[in-house]
Structures are given as C-alpha cells and as structure tokens.
Amino acid sequence: MVYTGKPSKSCEACRLRKKRCDKAVPGCGQCRRQGTTCPGYRDLLSLSFRNETARVIGKANAQRPSSGKHDPSDGVSPSPSPSYSSKSSSSMALVSVPPTSPV
C-alpha cells in the first residue's frame, strides 16, 4: 500500500471545478450557488492508501529476464550463489606469533 498524500475533503463537484468547498452538510455553498445538487463527500479513510500490489508484480515480471528456469508460481526466487576467491588455502596460511611476556 502506498500513501498518496492528504486527500481533498471537498465534494466531487468542487474538486472537478477546482473551487474552494465550504464542506457544508447536506450540500456545499458552491453547489447551492450553481443551482446544482451537491454530490456529497468521499470516505477519507478509503483514500489514504492505494493498493498497488498488481502494478508492482507486473513491473517485477517485466524486469525479470525470461530464462525459463524459474517458475513464478512457486513463490520462491532463486538465491544467488556465493562467490569465492580463487586463492588456494596454502597461500592463506596463518603465521604463529610467540606470546610476549609481561614486563
């Protein structure tokens, strides 16, 4: 869910006309002056967040290279294999240091 910012509290007609709405109930002053019935106000809680799950999945599938090896329906993505240095273990031998005595 994505936060879309502060939603307008104005009625539908005032938002379309980009006029300041006085938010009067049952109808706003702008609609009364225009001689139209006020269409009412939106539910502000349902406007705070927008479900973008389908859009995100579509973008991810579009960016994924189609190699044919991965089945997107299994829900598990392949993990990259760790890369190791090509140095042999003998070149990384530890050197022993004798302990020092306290003075």
CA–CA distances in Å: residue 32 to residues 2, 15, 43, 103: 36, 15, 22, 96
Determine, yes or no, domain membership for 80.
no
Predicted TM-score (pTM) of the model is: 0.40
pLDDT band (50, 70, 90) for residue 20? very high
Query: Could you report the per-residue pLDDT of 41-100, keeping only the tens digit for each?
Result: 887 766 666 677 888 899 999 887 765 555 555 555 555 555 555 555 555 566 677 778
Determine, yes or no, domain membership for 18.
yes
Angstrom distance (rounded) from CA 10 to CA 78: 49
Determine, yes or no, domain membership for 14.
yes
Determine, yes or no, domain membership for 21.
yes
Domain span at residue 19? 2-64
Across residues 28-48, what is the average pLDDT?
A: 83
Determine, yes or no, domain membership for 72.
no
Give me the number of domains the chain comprises. Answer: 1
Q: Where are the beta strands (DSSP E) in the chain?
A: 2-3, 49-50
CATH number at residue 42: 4.10.240.10
